[in-house]
Amino acid sequence: MVDATPPPADAAIVLIGNELLSGKIRDENAYYLAGRLRALGVTLRRVAVVPDEEAAIIDEVRRCASAYTYVFTSGGVGPTHDDITLPSIARAFEVPLVVDPSLEAPLRAHFGARMTPGHLRMATLPAGTELVRGDDFWWPAMVLGNVYILPGIPQIFRANFETLAPRFQGAPFFLASVYLDADEGSIAAALEALERDHGVAVGSYPRIDAQADHRVRVTIESRDSATVERATARLLDSLGAGARVVRVDAAAPASHPDQG
Amino acid sequence: MVDATPPPADAAIVLIGNELLSGKIRDENAYYLAGRLRALGVTLRRVAVVPDEEAAIIDEVRRCASAYTYVFTSGGVGPTHDDITLPSIARAFEVPLVVDPSLEAPLRAHFGARMTPGHLRMATLPAGTELVRGDDFWWPAMVLGNVYILPGIPQIFRANFETLAPRFQGAPFFLASVYLDADEGSIAAALEALERDHGVAVGSYPRIDAQADHRVRVTIESRDSATVERATARLLDSLGAGARVVRVDAAAPASHPDQG
C-alpha cells in the first residue's frame, strides 16, 4: 500500500517595509507568526525583510512561492506611495491588476467625496486574489495561489491570520526542554548522539545573563510525543557529573510563548 | 574634477538559527543592528533568517556578500552540532578551515582535560579570518572579506559589533517626524509630492491602537539636514483642513530608539 500522507507543510514570511530595515519599528508580525505556525505544525523555513522596492519584493516572493508550501507577506497594502506590495505581487505572477468591487464599495461609502486615488489603490488587486473576511476588522486577508497577503498593522495582521489559521492545521510538534547548569561544549557529543539515534531535533541555547537560572536550555522536538519522552529520558540518563539539571519541561505540544 | 566620493555603504544581516524560525527566541540582534547601522549612516537593505542548514547559509551569505558593502551574520558559532556557521562560510567562499591558535589557547587553558571536539570547532575558522578583540568579552568578532561573523548571544553580539562600529561610520541620516490626526489616504498625494520634489525619503505609519496619540506618523529623511527641514516645513504648509498636527520631532540625526 502506498503511503498517501502528504509531506508536512513548510512556510516563509516576507516582511515588506523600509521602517523595519531602518530600525524605526520593531517587527511584531514575524515573531507572532513563527510561534503560531509552530503551534499549527507548519515548519517555518525562512524569513526575509525587504525594502519598499518592486524588484526586491518580486524576487523574494517568487523565490519563496516556488520553494515553500505557504508564503505570508506583511505590509505595503495601505494608500501611500510606498505601499507597492499588491502591484509587485501582480508582476511577480504576471497577472493584471483589477479593482475589486467588494473592497471599493466600503471605501467609497466611508470616504465619499474624500476618496483619493490612494484609497482606490488599496482595492486594486492582482487578478484572481481571494478575499477572506473575519469578524474583527472589515479589511480581509488576501490569497493569491500559495501567497497570503497581510497588512503590516499588527492588530489586523493577527486578526487576518487567525481567520485563515484553521486551513494550516497539521500534525503538531511536541517539545521538551531541559534546563542545565552545564558548559555547552561538555554536552555537545550527547546532544549530537540524541539527534542521530532518536530522530529528534535538538537545540542548545546558552544564556550568560544574570537573570537566567540556567546556563543552557536544551530543546528536544518531534511530531511524535513518545519519541520526545524517550529522548528526554535518554538525555537525563546520559548527562555526566559536570551537568546539573535545573528543571525539565516535559513533552507537550509546541505553543507560542505569548500564548501560554 | 572627478567626484571621488564613494557611494554610501549598504548592508545585509543574516540571522542563523532554527530557534528564531520556531518562535522559541525573539530576535534581538537584527533589531539592535538595524538601529545602529542607521545611526552610523549605513543603509540596511535586507535581513534574512535561515535555519541551521549548510545549503541555506551558503546561499544567503554568498548572495548578500556580492550585493552589499557589509554582511553581518548572527549565530551558529558555539560548540554544538547545530553550530555550523563557520564551516558553511568557509564553503561559501571556498577557503579551507584552520584552527586559530589565538582562540585554541584560551579554550585549552579554560577547559583543560575537559576540552571537547565541540570546543575545538569554535576555534576552527575559515582561512583568512581576521579576529577583532574588544574589552568586554574574550570572544572576538570575526571578519572574512566583507562578512562580519558575530555570535547569537545578544550581549556578546552587541559588544563585538561596538568594537567594530567605528569602521562603519558614514555620513549620518537626518530624520524628522510629523505626527498627525489624519486619514493616511487623504495625505498620500502630499507625501508623494514631497518625496518627488525634495529628494527625501518619506515614510507613513498608521496606528490604530488606543495608546497612540496620533493616527499617522510621517517620517522625512535625508543625509542633508537642511533638506529635511525644508521638506518638513513644506509638508506642514500643504496639509489640508482634514489633517490635525499632533506634534513634530524636528530634523535630528537618526538614532536607535533604545539609545535616545
Instruction: Report the pLDDT value the prediction gives residue A7, as an integer from 0 to 100.
Output: 76
Residues 18-37 of B with CB under 8 A from A: 18-27, 30-31, 34-37
- Residue recorded with cell 524628522: B176
Instruction: Report the pLDDT value the prediction gives residue A204, as an integer from 0 to 100.
Output: 93
The enclosing domain of A216 has a CATH number of 3.30.70.100
Domain-located, residue A80: yes
Residues A196 and A152 in one domain: no
Instruction: Report the pLDDT value the prediction gives residue A260, as an integer from 0 to 100.
Output: 36
Domain-located, residue A178: yes
Of A31, A45, A116, the CB nearest to B51: A45
Structural domain count, chain A? 2
- Angstroms from A2 CA to nearest CA on chain B: 30
| pLDDT of B112 higher than 50 | yes
| pLDDT of B56 higher than 70 | yes
Residues A63 and A163 in one domain: yes
Residues A96 and A181 in one domain: no
- Residue recorded with cell 570572544: B139
CA distance B143 to B125: 10
CB of A169 less than 8 A from some CB of B: no
Cell of B117: 571536539
Which amino acid would we find at residue B245?
Answer: V
Among candidate residues B65, B85, B48, B52, the one with its CA nearest the CA of residue A46: B48
CB contact under 8 A, A209 and B155: yes
CA distance A43 to A34: 9
Residues B36 and B156 in one domain: yes
Domain-located, residue B2: no
Residues B203 and B245 in one domain: yes
Kindly identify which residue of chain A lies nearest to residue B206, measuring between CA atoms.
A153
CB of B91 less than 8 A from some CB of A: no
At which of B144, B168, B192 does a domain end? B168
At which of B117, B149, B168 does a domain end? B168
CA distance B57 to B74: 11
Domain-located, residue B5: no
B4-48 confidence digits (pLDDT tens): 666 789 999 999 999 999 999 999 999 999 999 999 999 999 999
CA distance A203 to B217: 40
Instruction: Report the pLDDT value the prediction gives residue B259, as an integer from 0 to 100.
Output: 47
DSSP A215: S
B193-241 confidence digits (pLDDT tens): 999 999 999 999 999 888 999 999 999 999 999 999 999 999 999 998 7
**Contact indicator for A151, A142 with CB cutoff of 8 Å:** no
Residues B236 and B161 in one domain: no
Residues B31 and B150 in one domain: yes
What SS3 class is residue B148?
A: strand
Cell of A256: 507560542
**Contact indicator for B124, B86 with CB cutoff of 8 Å:** yes
Instruction: Report the pLDDT value the prediction gives residue A210, as an integer from 0 to 100.
Output: 86
Phi, psi at A176, each rounded to 5°: -120, 150
Domain-located, residue B3: no
Residues B38 and B94 in one domain: yes
**Contact indicator for B233, A113 with CB cutoff of 8 Å:** no
DSSP B141: E
Of A23, A34, A119, the CB nearest to B23: A34
Domain-located, residue A1: no
Residues 231-260 of A with CB under 8 A from B: 242, 254, 256-257
Helical spans, DSSP H, in chain A: 18-21, 29-40, 54-67, 85-92, 101-111, 117-122, 154-164, 184-198, 225-238
Task: Look up the domain containing A238 and give its range.
Answer: 174-259
Instruction: Report the pLDDT value the prediction gives residue A8, as an integer from 0 to 100.
Output: 87
Kindly identify which residue of chain B lies nearest to residue A51, measuring between CA atoms.
B45
Domain-located, residue A2: no
At which of A117, A136, A168 does a domain end? A168
Instruction: Report the pLDDT value the prediction gives residue A245, as an integer from 0 to 100.
Output: 95
CB contact under 8 A, B188 and A51: no
| Euclidean distance between the first and the last CA atom of chain A, given in angstroms as a whole number | 41
pLDDT band at B138 (very low <50, low <70, confident <90, very high): confident
The enclosing domain of A142 has a CATH number of 3.40.980.10
CB contact under 8 A, A184 and B80: yes
Residues B24 and B130 in one domain: yes
Instruction: Report the pLDDT value the prediction gives residue B260, as an integer from 0 to 100.
Output: 36
pLDDT band at B137 (very low <50, low <70, confident <90, very high): confident
Q: Which of A13, A16, A19, A26 to mutate to test the interface with B (most CBs of B within 10 A)?
A: A26
Residues B72 and B122 in one domain: yes
Residues B139 and B244 in one domain: no
Residue segments in chain A with a per-residue pLDDT below the cut of 70: 1-6, 256-260
Residues A212 and A91 in one domain: no
- Angstroms from A81 CA to nearest CA on chain B: 6
